[in-house]
Each structure stands twice: as structure tokens, then as C-alpha cells.
Structure 1
Amino acid sequence: MTIDDEAARPARPAGASTPAPPAAAAGDDWDPLATQRTPADPPLDVLLSGTVFFDIVFTGMERLPRPGEELWSKGMGSSPGGIANLATAAARLGLRTGLVAGFGDDAYADWMWHTMANEEGIDLSASRRFPDFHSPLTVSIAAHGDRAMATHGHDLPEPLSTLITRAPAARAAVVDLAGETSWWGDLVRRGSLIFADIGFDQTGRWDVADLAPLQHCHAFTPNALEAMGYTRTDSPGAAVRALADKVPLVVVTDGADGSYAIDGSTGEEAFCPAVPVEAIDTTGAGDVFAAAMVLGTLAGWPLEERLKFGSLCAALAVQQFGGSLAAPGWGDITDWWRSLSSAADAGDLRAAYTRGGYRFLDGIVPDHPVQGRRRAQGTFALRSDAGEH
């Protein structure tokens, strides 16, 4: 289902997702880790926690409104946002994904719970619905690479840390250094690899003490601005080297300028240029990249391949509107690979060069049709189905 925007790039024409049991991966017909799974594996591949927002994105506007001005947009999309961006990205890549979050009892929460649990296959068994509590909401206006947002919400009636202990065990967890850290040690003791991120420091202090919880972490994935701020360096390359002393795996992303990484557990160092695309909406691109890195790490892929796969997934996401529901599934990845290969076989030199760097996809992408993935939609309904439109 696409957003209600005649100028929008069309989604894959495949049918909508069918309901899946919560413990299943989103792509039940394709599991990239299938050959590595054992009966001793925990029920989840990755565990997440955080706030789920109901996102409304207005698109196709020539500019942002001025104070007191009303502008009509050409289209709009709605989707689960916040931590749902990362959860959906992980589930669509075939990771068995669990989310610990608090939900309200309003219609927004009904739709977001249904979308994530029944259509994306995200395990919400440790999440909770709170009575007389409404969903946080964000309205975003996108115009020519810029955006403005307004958000409303309230603190949950109880902290998420009280719900974490109910979550199934997971091979990995993705956390925010700025959030609660008291439960990280328990995850490590349960065998989870911790992947940490951090946000922009609004205070401008970039206090190195903020990085102390990295002692529990396997990986740290800041963007270039954050990494340089905390390390007092003047380049992403210098920042990644400074951070490599703190965690086994450090990845510094620099948007269209690529990504830098050092994996001390394998001795690898790598740089990956970004896949050049015309970005429509960058919301959630970092979450898609992070999910791809988790998959590649659990799969044991070489560091360079992990970076390239993350860059590709992020590039596919930014060509769609809608945050979480812009995340690519294996159908999108396979379509890109087959289209690139066809162009290379037809003599396109640029395609041939790009294909050379992504040959590893031959052994990863499915060789059969897989489920299509829902895109952001103009409105929400509990029984909506892309096959009906």
C-alpha cells in the first residue's frame, strides 16, 4: 500500500503481508540465518525497547509553511514511528525481532499494535497496553530535503525497565546510550550482544562520561557528528579509531559520504561509500542501516560486506516515504540486485562496476518470490490490506 501521493515512487506490486505469529520473523518465506540456526538458539535474534510514535508525514510540498500560513500537501502517509522504525527494519530483514514498549488504549495504538505484531511479525509479548493513556504523535512536513516536526506525548505510567524482564532472550539487543542502562548487564549475562547508538548532544558538552555504558556493549554506531564530538577529532576516520578502544565493533556513519568501521574481534577495518540515490525521505535510514549491521554480524559476514549491505538497505529506504514502512524487505533487495545484474549484462559499465562490489548478494538473496511489504498509507484501518486496493 503506497502513500496517497500521485507523484510518489510506486511500491512493489506484491500482495500485503499475511498475519504471522509474534515470534516469527516478518519474512516467513525467507530467513537469511536459516542455515545457521540451532535448537539451542534463543527465541529472538534482536530485542529493542523505546517509544512508539504514531507518525503522520506530509509530502510533496514546495516549501515549509511560514508562521500563520496554511499549505496543502500533495500527499501524506501514516506509519508507526520512533523505535518502530528500527523494529520494522529488523523484522523485514528476517531477524526474529522483539520490542518492549508501552502503548496507549486509543485507535492509533490499536492500529500500530496490529501492524507490528500481525503484519510485521514483531514479538510484543513484553510490551504493555496502558488504560487511559494516549499514543505519542509526531507530524512531519517534508519539503526539498528539509523537514519540520511537531510532537506530543507523555511519559509512560511505568518505566520500560519493569517490562524488560518479561522479554524473551535474544542473541542481540539495540539500545540508546541516552536511555535507561540499568538492565543492560542482565542482557549481557543472558548472552546478548549489545549494539548501542546515541543521539545529538543538545548541550554541546559532548561529555565522554556519557560513553561509560559502552563497557557492556559489543558495538557502537554513532553518526560522524556525534563520533567527532565525543572524541574531539576532526574527521570520521579519526573518530572511528578513537572509539575502537571502547568497543569490539565501532561503525561511524557519514550520510552520503559513506561509513567507516573497525571490528577488533576480527581485526578488520573498512570504508564503504554510500549507494548514490535521490533521497525522498531520510526518516529511519539510520535504523535500517543499524538493523542490517545486526544481521550481518549475527550471520558472520565480513565487515566490508556488512557495511555495503547496510548502505544498500538505507539507500532503498530513503527512496520511499514513511519511516518504518519505508524499510526494505527481501523482495526490494532482490529486485535491486536483479535489475542491477540485468543492466550490467546489457553492457552498462556503471552497473557492472557496482555489481562487482555486491557479488556477495548472490549467496544471500532468495531465488523465489517473497512477501511484499506494506508502505505508508494515507489513513489507517485495522482491516486494511494492500491486496484490496
Structure 2
Amino acid sequence: MATDGETDPRELTADYGELESTPLVGEPKDVLGESRGGGGPAIDLALSGTVFFDIVLTGLASPPSSGTEVSAQGMGSCPGGVANMAVAASRLGLRTAVAAAFGEDVYGDFCWETLATQELVDLSASRRIPNWHSPFTVSLAYRGDRSMVTHEHPSPIPLHDMARDLPRARAAFVSLSSDGEVPQWALEQAKEGTLLFADVGWDDSQRWSRSVLEQLRHCHAFMPNAIEAMSYTRTGSPALAVAALAEYVPVAVVTDGPRGAIAIDQTTGEEAEVEGIVIDAVDTTGAGDVFGAGFIVGTLAGWPLERRLRFANLCAALSVQHTGGSLSAPGWADIAAWWGQLCASRHDENRERLSREYRFLGELVPLPWLPTAQRRASATIGLRP
């Protein structure tokens, strides 16, 4: 058995339920190892955006109403915002770089150290800003969904100024909006051969402007959820929505939570639809970002479309078992544990189907995995040894 708080790698083949609180996520696997020669980019994924200090409360008996107080059974603190996808991608082995502003406060210290030291995210394009407090979000997870309260001030250094310093990457991720354009830094990267992956935020105006679809001409892939996709395309089903989006972008993906995902890849002529993996959810924060990271990994590795969707679905499903949008992201040990438990369990019809659909994992997750310094979200920060 391991000592000093570490987990014996042999224990990773134990029942998956016992691994819920295991603090390691596994030794990174470089799925791009065979393609890294030849002087390509040193970075696999570049991102720019806001990093929030997130406090997530889980296990609420009911949401709070005016003048009342409710208790939460669980709590986690972690970097949020653009950190969600950055951490998810890094834990899956991508060399990831982020341009973001960090306050010179305790929250900023925590987010910077977590990303740079624990999660190995390149922050060379990011900046520490004195006399400016870090953006802050409180998230209430309740019955498979969440509500959020956010407080932030604009960064004194414009984000586009920092993003210009991002290293050239194989892929870049952007979030589109109806009142903006694809960021210039991403367009410059695309001119050098970078694949642009995009999603879109919720439209509070409910107008679902077509300007978002026009921006897709710059992108390689678009990954909205079903409601967003149907709203922007004025269609009545995910299947109709993905077909409509395929008119605008080479790779169209529509996610539908536990119901799965559907996609069309015009670069390969593939179409695929996969079922979701139903796992009891503790906190759904960041699941879409984790799906996106898994899909980008599979794309850069050159996997078939169906495998990319299944892998992304699994990563998103595993993430909702833990608190927080970034540090809930699975690593290779989490994936290996799920696969090992599936292979070792008594198979019913559903498990037989999953074993067939995910047999490709046998080539990706040989056991055992060694412990690492990576951790899950914890209830507090700054604990002294």
C-alpha cells in the first residue's frame, strides 16, 4: 500500500465508487507523441479569456429564496472560466497555454499557482495585475443544474493585448458572441494553420443573431449544446440543427447532455451520433468545456469522428462526479479506472454495449498509473502544512 497520502497504483483497479475522493488524476498520456516531430508548434491548444476564482456549493436540499438560508453538504474552490477547458486539456496530455488577467491577491495567487504549477498550463501570455481583485463566482449546484453569482471588474490590460503573446498552437479555442467577432489573435493563428474550435454562450436577449453563424467561416469546428444549436439555426431537433450548422463550418457538433452528441465532419465525410453515459451528477459546471477538450484531443490525434464523440462524452460524464468546473476534469487514471471497472464487472446488456463502444480505451489506458501532484477542488485554500 502507498503511504504519505498517496494512492497505490494497484488500487486503481478497485471499484470505481471508491475512487470518488482519490486526489490524483494520473500520469499524462501524450496522444500526440508520434506527431510532435518535424518542428511543429510547441503548444497544442491556445486559449484566452477570464479566469474566475470559483466557489461551488453542492448538495443543497433546495435553492435559497428571499430571506432564507440553506445548508450545502459539499463545497469546492477552484479556478473557473477559461481555466475549465485549459485544465481539462492539460490533464489529457495537451500542451496548453492561456492568456488571462490575474489579480495580485490571494485568489489570484491560488488560481495562478494551480494552473501553472499543479496543472502545467503555460501562462507566459498572462499577466498579474496589482490593485485589481480577481474575478469571483459562487455557483450553486442543484438537481443536475447550477445557478451562479459573479462579481468582476474589467481588466486594466485588455485581453486582446495579452492574447497576442500566445505561442502558436495546433489548435485554439474561442467563444463566439452575437456582439463580437472572432478575436484577432485567433485569426492570426488560423493564418498559420491553427485549427479554430468554437462554442457560444447563452444569449440573454433570446434573439439568437445570425451573426454568430457568419463567424463560423473562420472556424474548423463548432460545438454548441442542443438548445443553442436549435435556437441559432431555427430548427426543431439536434439532428436538423447539426445538418444546418454543417453548411457553415467543416465540423459541426451538437451536444445534448446525458442524451449524447451528434456531429458531421465534412473534412472526412463522416457522420456520427452517440449515446450519453448516465452517471449520477454532483456538479455539472464545466461539463461542456470538458467535452470540448476531449473532442479537441481526439481531433488532433486523428481519431475517427465516432471515437472523438465517445471519448468526449466519457470525459464530460466523469467530470460531473466531482465539484468544480476545472479540477473535476478527468485525467488518464480516471479514464483507466472507469474502463477497468467496466471490464471487470458482470456484464448486462448495457455494459456489453459500453464494452464494445469503448474498446478503443484498451489501447490508451494501460494500468497501472503513477500518482501525481494534481488534485481535486477542496473546500478551502491556503491551508498550511
Residue type of the partner of 1:323?
G
The answer to whether the 8 A contact 2:28-2:332 is kept is no
Tell me the SS of whatever aligns to 1:55: strand
1:271 CA drift (Å): 0.3
Q: Is the 8 A contact 1:105 1:133 kept in 2?
A: yes
Offset at residue 347 of structure 1 (A): 4.3
Please list every run of 5 or more consecutive structure 2 residues that lacks an aligned counterpart in the other structure.
6-16
1:365 aligned partner = 365
Per-residue CA deviations over 1:131-174 (Å, capped at 9, x if unaligned) read: 11100111112233343321100111122111122111100001
The equivalences for 1:163-312 within 5 A come to 163-178=162-177, 181-312=183-314
Name the counterpart of 1:58. Answer: 57
Aligned twin of 1:380:
381
CA contact (8 A) 2:342 2:351 kept: yes
Aligned match of 1:5: none
Aligned to 1:318: 320
2:153 pairs with 1:154:
yes
Q: What is the identity, as a one-letter code, of the residue corresponding to 1:260?
A: I
Q: What is the Cα deviation at residue 11 of structure 1?
A: 4.8
Amino acid at match of 1:351: R
Q: Partner letter of residue 355 of structure 2?
A: R
**TM-score, normalised with respect to structure 2:** 0.90
Q: Which whole-Å CA distance do the structure 1 matches of 2:148 and 2:348 have between them?
A: 41
Distance 2:29 2:144 in 1: 34
Matched with 2:339 is: 337
Q: Secondary structure at the match of 1:166?
A: coil
Cα distance in 2 for residues equivalent to 1:29 and 1:227 = 33
Deviations 1:214-257 (A, max 9, x none): 11110011111111111111111001011101111010011122
Percent sequence identity is 52
Q: Deviations over 1:252-306 (max 9, x none)?
A: 0111221110000000000011011111211000000000010000000000000
Counterpart CA distance in 1 for 2:330 and 2:23 is: 15
Aligned to 1:112: 111
CA distance in 2, matches of 1:90, 1:262: 22
1:110 and 1:382 in contact (8 A); partners too = no
Q: 2:8 aligns to what?
A: none
User: What are the equivalent positions in structure 2 for 1:33-52 lying under 5 Å apart?
Assistant: 33-52=32-51
Q: CA deviation at 1:41?
A: 1.6
**Separation of aligned partners in 2, 1:261 and 1:238:** 11
Q: Distance in 2 between matches of 1:383 and 1:114?
A: 15
Once the two structures are superposed, residues 285-332 of structure 1 have per-residue CA deviations (whole angstroms, 9 ceiling, x without a partner) of 000000001000000000000000011011100111111110000000
Contact 1:30-1:370 at 8 Å conserved across structures: no
Contact persistence 2:51–2:82 (CA under 8 A)? yes
Q: Give the letter for the 1:220 counterpart.
A: F
CA contact (8 A) 1:277 1:315 kept: yes
Tell me if the contact between 1:12 and 1:332 (Cα under 8 Å) persists in the aligned partners.
Answer: no
Going from structure 1 to structure 2, the CA distance change for 1:10 and 1:158 (only over 3 Å counts) comes to: farther
CA deviation after TM superposition for structure 1 residue 211, in Å = 2.2
Q: Deviations over 1:309-366 (max 9, x none)?
A: 01101110011111111000000000000110111xx444432221011111112223
Question: Does structure 2 conserve the Cα–Cα contact (< 8 Å) formed by 1:64 and 1:147?
Answer: no
What is the distance in 2 between the residues matched to 1:285 and 1:211?
23
> Aligned equivalents of 2:240 and 2:129: distance in 1?
46
**How has the CA–CA distance of structure 1 residues 382 and 300 changed in structure 2, closer, same or farther, with 3 Å as cutoff?**
farther
What is the rounded CA distance, in whole Å, between the counterparts of 2:295 and 2:323 in structure 1? Answer: 22
Aligned residue type for 1:249: V
Report the AA paired with residue 135 of structure 1.
S
Aligned-pair CA distance for 1:29: 4.8
When the two structures are superposed, what TM-score results if normalisation uses the length of structure 1? 0.89
Change in 2 beyond 3 A, CA 1:132/1:368: same
Q: CA deviation at 1:65?
A: 1.4
* Residues 283, 318 of structure 1: 8 Å contact kept: yes
1:90–1:38 distance in 2 versus 1, CA, 3 Å: same
Which residue identity does 1:285 align to in structure 2? Answer: A
Residue type of the alignment partner of 2:137:
T
Q: Deviation per CA, 1:21-51, whole angstroms, max 9, x where unpaired?
A: xxxxxx6652122122214121100001100
Structure 1 residue 203 displacement after superposition: 1.2
2:292 is aligned with what amino acid? A
Q: Is the 8 A contact 2:28 2:93 kept in 1?
A: no
Q: 1:193 to 1:382 in 2, by over 3 A?
A: farther
State the one-letter code of the partner of 1:191: G
Partner of 1:4: none
Stretch moving more, 369-378 or 230-239: 369-378
Alignment of 1:90-129 (within 5 A): 90-129=89-128
Matched-pair contact (CA < 8 Å) for 2:141–2:284: no
Change (3 A) 1:278 1:12: closer
| Runs of 4+ displaced beyond 4 Å | 9-17
SS at match of 1:149: strand
SS at match of 1:326: coil
List per-residue Cα deviations over 1:356-385 (Å, max 9, x = no partner).
11111112223431445411101112777x
Report how many aligned residue pairs link the two structures.
366
Moved more, 211-220 or 85-94: 211-220
Residue 99 of structure 1 deviates from its aligned partner by 0.5
